[in-house]
């Protein structure tokens, strides 16, 4: 069995969409799904037997630093055979929601987003706190599309986006075909 | 006995049922055993049950009990005598060797090569003369001590002088069977209370449990627990039949569901034990999932009070979840989960999860079965 270990429902929805878009119909399951930190905890609790029986693909957000997140994840993985990808594009800081928002290209075009950006700036100016982009995406999908982010992402047209992640997932399934280990 | 002193921590099993050479450990006070169907969960527990025997005859008595319990239907049809069963037991288990690590010999947390086994018993057949020798805890058993007597075909008691003049430790199969049978026949059920299988119609066992509860002044406590759980006011044997009193009226215990009857066996057995062990096969058997938390609460609480090490098998995901949930609620971290599996080379292996791992894996929805 192939397991995608992800932080939450939005990650799950995107992976499902990508697999569908790529036409991959292998059996797979999702694990983790308990928020920030659940991916690493899941990996730490895997037994040798589970690792030998299944294939695991871990996906986390880079958040403030891609290199720090990569180092922490690699330390957690150790010598376990686990594939991984770090949002948004496996090289820059950020999170899945940045990727989604950039792919739909609505910044300063959509009324909800414009309001949200003003609100974000106001909070920053008033109490010097940043608001994560997951809240912006939530505002956009619930107000403009009457859907939760995961429902919106599941049906999003992604033919021309998410190339890095698509490539990594393609590699995973190609490697499975030839039984190569993750590197 | 001080707490935990008698608890088994590790075990090595060789040539017993599905085990060719198998080591596992890190056992706690309460141990739940999981794994796929027919992986060997019950056989594993049976090996520990045998290991906890304190003598050769008790070990063989327990083998007989296990065989009886596992193959009840087949044996009823075949009409085999106890001697026939013993013969097959000896022939099936002549290389059996169940061992345990000597306390303090292990140099790291893993059960590794430094594991030193001390066999509970084994029987070996000499290739040249076909005679058998028995060793218990590495010592040869001498079966010619004392005067052995048996009844001849007319029923008269006669001594068999030649029998105990044997100078070596080797015996013919027939003498071995006679010896074991003479030692075992008087106490067939005396230790059965601690291995609870799925035979809920074992009235002899239930009668013994209730007798022991009365002798140990635990009978009232037993009835109080049952009253709290199921509104059962009393349980006793009346006219040799097991009866329960509900709403001031007695009814046969067979009118109760399997789950309640299972819990009666677990509770009654546990309450009579002190500094001991209990083995429960398919613990969830017949028990509604809504009652599993009550069962685990009883087992965790009473096993702690009575200093009893518990080994139980399960197939049920709900049962494992309940086990973890109740242990967390009671803040009882002396629990383990032993997951048995076959690796890619088809070798039988196991991994033991401690309290923290059980909780983590439960929260992460990792399948412990």
Q: Closest CB to A42: pick one of B343, B349, B364.
A: B364
pLDDT at site B75: 52
pLDDT at site A56: 94
For residues A69 and A35, the answer to whether their CB atoms sit within 8 Å is no
- Residue A50 touches chain B, beta carbons under 8 Å: yes
Interstrand relation of A28-32 and A2-6 (parallel, antiparallel or unpaired): parallel
Residue B105 in this model has a pLDDT that exceeds 60: no
Q: Give the number of beta-carbon pairs within 8 Å between A and B.
A: 28
CB contact under 8 A, B366 and A41: no
For the segment B78-98, the average pLDDT, to the nearest whole number, is 69
Give, for A144, the enclosing helix (H) or strand (E): helix A133-144
Burial class (CB in 10 A: 0-12, 13-18, 19+), B34: buried
Say how far apart CA B56 and CA B251 lie, in whole Å: 41
Work out the widest C-alpha separation in chain B, in whole angstroms: 70
Residue B53 in this model has a pLDDT that exceeds 50: yes
Mutate which of B26, B338, B364 to test chain A, going by most A C-beta atoms within 10 A? B364
Q: What is the pLDDT of residues B151-203, one digit of tens each?
A: 455 655 454 444 444 446 777 788 777 776 766 554 444 444 467 765 677 78
- Residue B369 touches chain A, beta carbons under 8 Å: no
Average pLDDT value over all residues in chain B: 78
- Residue A4 touches chain B, beta carbons under 8 Å: no
- Residue A42 touches chain B, beta carbons under 8 Å: yes
Burial code (b: 16+ CB inside 10 Å, e: under 16) for B158-173 equals eeeeebeeeeebbbeb
Say how far apart CA A44 and CA B361 lie, in whole Å: 10
CA B54 to chain centre: 13
For residues A89 and A164, the answer to whether their CB atoms sit within 8 Å is yes
Q: What is the pLDDT of residues B286-338, one digit of tens each?
A: 899 999 999 999 999 999 999 999 999 998 999 999 999 999 999 999 999 99
Closest approach of chain B CAs to the CA of A45, in angstroms? 7
- The full set of domain ranges for chain A reads 2-178
Closest CA to B323 of B366, B292, B282: B292
For residues B11 and B51, the answer to whether their CB atoms sit within 8 Å is yes
Residue with tokens 């050479």: B21
Q: Kindly report the length of chain B.
A: 369
Q: Band of the pLDDT at B211, cuts 50, 70, 90?
A: very high
Q: Band of the pLDDT at B19, cuts 50, 70, 90?
A: confident
Q: Which residues of A touch B350 (CB under 8 A)?
A: none
- Residue B349 touches chain A, beta carbons under 8 Å: yes
Q: Which domains does chain B have, with CATH numbers?
A: 54-187 (no CATH), 193-332+345-363 (3.40.50)
Average pLDDT value over all residues in chain A: 89
User: Is this prediction's ipTM beyond 0.85?
Assistant: no
**Where would I find the H helices in chain B?**
41-51, 56-70, 72-78, 82-92, 173-184, 203-215, 219-230, 258-272, 292-306, 317-329, 355-363
Give, for A171, the enclosing helix (H) or strand (E): helix A163-178
pLDDT > 70 fraction of chain B, expressed in percent and rounded: 69
């Amino acid at each position: 069995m192939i397991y995608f270990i992800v932080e939450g429902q939005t990650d799950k929805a995107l992976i499902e969409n990508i697999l569908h878009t790529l036409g991959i119909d292998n059996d797979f399951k999702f694990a983790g799904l308990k928020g920030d930190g659940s991916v690493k905890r899941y990996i730490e609790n895997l037994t040798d037997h589970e690792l030998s029986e299944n294939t695991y693909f871990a996906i986390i957000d880079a958040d403030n630093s891609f290199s720090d997140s990569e180092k922490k994840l690699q330390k957690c993985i150790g010598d376990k055979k686990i594939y991984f990808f770090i949002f948004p594009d496996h090289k820059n800081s950020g999170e899945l929601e940045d990727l989604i928002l950039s792919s739909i290209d609505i910044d300063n075009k959509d009324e909800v987003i414009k309001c949200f950006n003003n609100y974000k700036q106001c909070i920053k100016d008033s109490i010097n706190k940043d608001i994560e982009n997951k809240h912006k995406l939530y505002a956009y999908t619930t107000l403009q599309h009457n859907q939760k982010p995961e429902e919106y992402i599941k049906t999003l047209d992604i033919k021309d986006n998410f190339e890095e992640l698509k490539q990594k997932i393609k590699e995973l399934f190609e490697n499975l075909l030839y039984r190569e280990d993750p590197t | 006995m001080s707490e935990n002193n008698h608890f088994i921590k590790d075990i090595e099993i060789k040539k017993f049922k599905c085990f060719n050479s198998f080591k596992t450990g890190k056992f706690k006070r309460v141990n739940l055993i999981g794994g796929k169907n027919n992986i060997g969960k019950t056989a594993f527990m049976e090996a520990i049950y045998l290991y906890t025997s304190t003598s050769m005859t008790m070990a063989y008595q327990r083998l007989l009990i296990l065989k009886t319990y596992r193959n009840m239907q087949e044996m009823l049809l075949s009409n085999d005598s106890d001697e026939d069963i013993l013969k097959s037991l000896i022939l099936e288990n002549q290389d059996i060797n169940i061992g345990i690590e000597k306390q303090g010999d292990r140099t790291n947390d893993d059960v590794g090569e430094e594991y030193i086994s001390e066999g509970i018993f084994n029987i070996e057949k000499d290739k040249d003369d076909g005679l058998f020798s028995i060793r218990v805890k590495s010592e040869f058993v001498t079966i010619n001590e004392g005067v052995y007597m048996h009844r001849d075909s007319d029923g008269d008691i006669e001594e068999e002088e030649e029998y105990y003049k044997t100078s070596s430790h080797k015996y013919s199969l027939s003498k071995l069977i006679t010896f074991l049978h003479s030692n075992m026949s008087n106490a067939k059920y005396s230790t059965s209370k601690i291995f609870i299988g799925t035979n809920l119609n074992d009235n002899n066992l239930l009668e013994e449990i209730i007798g022991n509860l009365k002798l140990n002044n635990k009978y009232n406590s037993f009835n109080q627990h049952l009253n709290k759980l199921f509104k059962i006011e009393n349980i006793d044997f009346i006219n040799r039949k097991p009866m329960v009193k509900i709403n001031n009226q007695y009814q046969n215990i067979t009118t109760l569901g399997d789950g309640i009857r299972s819990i009666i066996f677990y509770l009654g057995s546990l309450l009579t034990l002190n500094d001991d062990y209990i083995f429960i096969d398919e613990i969830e058997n017949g028990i509604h999932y809504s009652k599993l938390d009550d069962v685990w609460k009883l087992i965790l609480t009473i096993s702690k009070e009575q200093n009893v090490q518990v080994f139980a098998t399960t197939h049920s995901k709900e049962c494992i979840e309940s086990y973890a949930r109740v242990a967390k609620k009671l803040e009882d971290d002396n629990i383990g989960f032993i997951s048995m599996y076959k690796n890619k080379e088809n070798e039988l292996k196991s991994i033991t999860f401690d309290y923290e791992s059980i909780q983590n894996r439960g929260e992460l929805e990792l399948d412990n079965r």
